[in-house]
């Protein structure tokens, strides 16, 4: 499956935020693939300030979208996440600057479906 636009920028942003730092991770549940769904916080520059929620911060800069598929967990922050996504969308930052932004769910559906058809036709 090809990478979506801004995926490299999002990865670089995330690395800059957490690489080499102690990150607080709160496990919330396991998804259908037995992966742990968690919420993560990274330290601020000054230790006396509260930690930054990584999901909030990446939504603010427009390099992510709220994942609304089965197994989603928000730890009581869905309303906040929706507001941050709406603000980034209105400001057309990051992924929202694209003329025809394709959601993660749509992207997966397209390529997993196409990939499945390709595999079936090869047999």
Q: What is the CATH number of the domain that holds 22?
A: 2.40.50.90
- Considering only CA atoms, give the Rg of the chain: 17
CB 69 within 8 A of CB 105: yes
Domains contained in the chain, number: 1
Q: What is the pLDDT of residues 67-118, one digit of tens each?
A: 888 778 999 999 999 999 999 999 999 999 999 999 988 998 888 876 544 4
Residue 1 lies in a domain: no
Residue 38's closest CA among 7, 12, 75?
75
Cα 66–chain centre separation: 7
Residue 2 lies in a domain: no
Domain that holds residue 50: 7-122
**Could you tell me the two tokens for 54?**
């990584």
The pTM assigned to this predicted structure is 0.83
């Amino acid at each position: 499956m090809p990478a979506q636009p801004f995926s490299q920028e999002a990865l670089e942003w995330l690395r800059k935020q957490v690489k080499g730092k102690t990150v607080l991770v709160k496990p919330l549940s396991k998804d259908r693939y037995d992966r742990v769904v968690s919420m993560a916080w990274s330290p601020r520059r000054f230790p006396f300030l509260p930690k930054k929620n990584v999901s909030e911060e990446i939504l603010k800069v427009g390099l992510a979208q709220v994942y609304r598929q089965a197994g989603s967990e928000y730890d009581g922050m869905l309303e906040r996440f929706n507001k941050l996504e709406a603000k980034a969308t209105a400001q057309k930052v990051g992924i929202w600057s694209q003329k025809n932004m394709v959601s993660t769910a749509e992207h997966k559906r397209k390529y997993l479906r196409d990939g499945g058809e390709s595999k079936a036709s090869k047999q």
